Chains A and B, each alone.
Chain A
Amino acid sequence: MIEIKDLHKSYHMGSNTLHVLKGINFNVKEGELVSIMGSSGSGKSTLLNILGMLDEADTGDYTLDGFAIKNLNEKIAANYRNKFLGFIFQSFNLINYKSALDNVAMPLYYQGMKRKERVEKAAHYLEKVGLADWSHHLPNEMSGGQKQRVAIARALASEPKVLLADEPTGALDTKTSYEVMDLIQGINEEGKTILIVTHEPDIAQMTKRIVNLKDGLIINDTKVEQVRAISNV
């Protein structure tokens, strides 16, 4: 599903250059649930953003579901983001003047779906994350966990092939984190490929594979015995 080869990324700040990703090689097959770990500043978010096509690598190859992602114009990139990818941000990134339902329906609008269908589908996914009763609330009327679940519903609504989550539980307490992880595990079991950035080991244990980043390189990539989130709730 995801193949990356010798990926490099640097940030330029004035005359300084910060080499963040120094040659990442890494594959993810369909249906995997992978966590990416590493200390702060190791480049996890940078990697995930590149995978999510929110950012671009400097050099290296990235193939998503057989398509080479390189030097795409914004139009095609927008199409891929819409069709292939669902992104869950640490800071939720909901549109604050739209209700939960409308936020979830957003990607569907950009898929060109009719309003009625959009609303039905968005309602379905909100129900799935347990927020059927909250569909008309605005984000700032909801707790962090609820907002993150709205964000998950939004990422799911477009039925992407790959779900990318950058510290989805970073802003949540342990109990809520596990609830969110339970949701993610459920989605994974339906066959979705999921990558999660986290630096909480217990969260990582709930995935099926842990990739460790350090100083811009993968230092460790191991399969793990998945812990069911529900058993900890």
Chain B
Amino acid sequence: MFDIERWQEIFETLRKNKLRTFLTGLSVASGIFILVILLGFSKGIQNGVTSQFERDASNLISIWPGVTTKEYKGLNPGRYIQFKNNDFNTISRKYNDEIEHESAFYTIWGGLVNYKNESGSYRIQGVLPGNQFIENADIGQGRFLNYSDVEDAKKVAVIGNRVKKDLFKDEDPINKDISVYGISYKVVGVFFDPGGERDESKVFLPLTSAQRAFNGADEIRNMMFTLKMSDDYNKAALESAAISEAILTDLKQKHIVDPDDTSAIRVNNTMEEAKKIYSLISTISAVFWFVGIGTIIAGVVGVGNIMLIIVKERTKEIGIRKALGAQPMSIVGMILQESVFVTMFSGLFGLILGLGLLEIVGPLIESDFIQYPQVDFNTAITTVFILVFAGALAGFFPAYRAAQIKPIIALRDE
């Protein structure tokens, strides 16, 4: 293998057969290149889809009031249930150990918001600090609401990026006053939401400020909790279902609702949806594995073919070398060494090119569904080795055969 003379002979052969070397190298390099790009983008799509649905996949319990449909303890059906701060606080305290983030909501669906001459209608929500995590809101500027804002019912607001674009254009909104139905709030932050435009068309106020401003007293519209996620999906699902059920029972009891009344209070827990998303993600990754393996197989067949053709083409040369006294194994070795060298070199070249392109183009992609296209380096290297091995194997058999037959037969080959 490390025979310098042999290497000289091989380099000379490669140099003197530039076209063949180039074409072999090109097909191997482009094969690997395409594979890397493909794997990279499939990973990117996986990342994108995962992050798109990640928040929906979290263990979120939402509780909404409704209208009773059953008579219970002398109370007529058709009664509206109204949550109060107290309901939220009770649950918050009781399930403190299991709850990760929490928020109660007081919502004005289409609230008129003004800044100077600009105005628009947005959803106004009184929330608690925990909503930042429940909504998965990314703070782009400033900060989110904090507990002292809520405690003191400060007149501050955090606005969605859409709101900022509409009302402030290029102006910096921080510390400017917007007015909501004539009441001024100081903007303390701007948030982005992976959910997109619709979720960025909101204005968050401290819950207490919103209640006070819009005559809400201590009423709340609904509440949301996220549970601490456990690694095991099944365990998380069971726990989530149990807590949802327990909260429901507590609230029904408190509001004197028939335990069988399903529309008076509704609890929605996202664990079932999470399951769909988990399976979506795993389906996507299975599809791309399939595509990747398919590409590798195609590459193996391609490289194998090239090697077969090369050896076929060189049969006469093999005959000449044999007539001049070449040992069969030295011929096989020469051909293998050559093919391994070319496929390895060009494979790595294609690999670096592919990785480089992903590195450069990856961050430029502005799609929510493709994020951080990247390839696991080990996977890529393994692929190169598989192709090199396949090429060597495909070259070995015809080379071995050509080296074993009588020289006269090899020489007769045209």
Measuring CB to CB, which residues of chain A are less than 8 angstroms from any residue of chain B? 49, 52, 54-56, 74-75, 78-79, 81-83, 87, 89, 93-95, 97-98, 102, 106-107, 109-111, 114-115, 154, 158
Contacts and interface: CB of A to CB of B under 8 A. Distances in A.
Contacts of A83: 325
A93 B407 CA distance: 12
B408 A55 contact: yes
A130 B100 CA distance: 94
18 contacts: A54-B407, A54-B408, A54-B411, A55-B406, A74-B327, A78-B327, A79-B325, A82-B325, A82-B326, A93-B323, A93-B411, A98-B16, A106-B320, A107-B324, A109-B9, A114-B5, A158-B324, A158-B325
Contacts of B9: 109
B58 interface: no
Max chain A C-beta neighbours (<10 A), residue from B9, B13, B325, B329 = B325
Contact of A54 (B321, B323, B326, B404): B323
B323 A52 contact: yes
A39 to B, nearest CB: 21
Interface string B333-363: 0000000000000000000000000000000
Interface residues of B, number: 27
A115 B8 contact: yes
B322 interface: yes
A81 B330 CA distance: 15
A75 B328 contact: yes
B75 to A, nearest CB: 99
Contacts of A79: 325, 327
A54 B406 contact: yes
Contacts of B17: 97
Nearest to B314: A95
A87 B323 contact: yes
Given A54-B408, A81-B325, A158-B324, A109 B5 contact: yes
B324 A106 contact: yes
Taking chain B's interface residues, is the majority helix, strand, or loop, or is none over half, making it mixed? Answer: helix
B322 A78 contact: yes
Given A74-B328, A74-B404, A78-B327, A93 B5 contact: no
Nearest to B316: A93
Question: Which residue of B5, B13, B404, B407 has the most chain A CB atoms within 10 A of its CB atom?
Answer: B407
B328 A49 contact: no
A208 to B, nearest CB: 26
Given A55-B408, A75-B327, 13 more contacts: A54-B407, A54-B408, A74-B327, A75-B329, A81-B324, A81-B407, A83-B325, A93-B316, A98-B16, A106-B324, A107-B324, A111-B325, A158-B325
B330 to A, nearest CB: 7
Contacts of A109: 5, 9
Contacts of A87: 323
B325 A107 contact: yes
A32 B343 CA distance: 51
B5 A78 contact: no
A70 B227 CA distance: 85
A114 B408 CA distance: 28
A217 to B, nearest CB: 22
Contacts of B56: none
A114 B4 CA distance: 10
A50 to B, nearest CB: 9
Contacts of A82: 324-326
B321 A110 contact: yes
A75 B330 CA distance: 10
A98 B8 CA distance: 13
A82 B330 CA distance: 13
B321 A106 contact: yes
B215 to A, nearest CB: 93
B197 interface: no
A79 B330 CA distance: 12
A75 B20 CA distance: 30
A172 B324 CA distance: 23
A25 to B, nearest CB: 22
B12 interface: yes
Contacts of A81: 322-325, 407
A109 B406 CA distance: 21
A114 B326 CA distance: 16
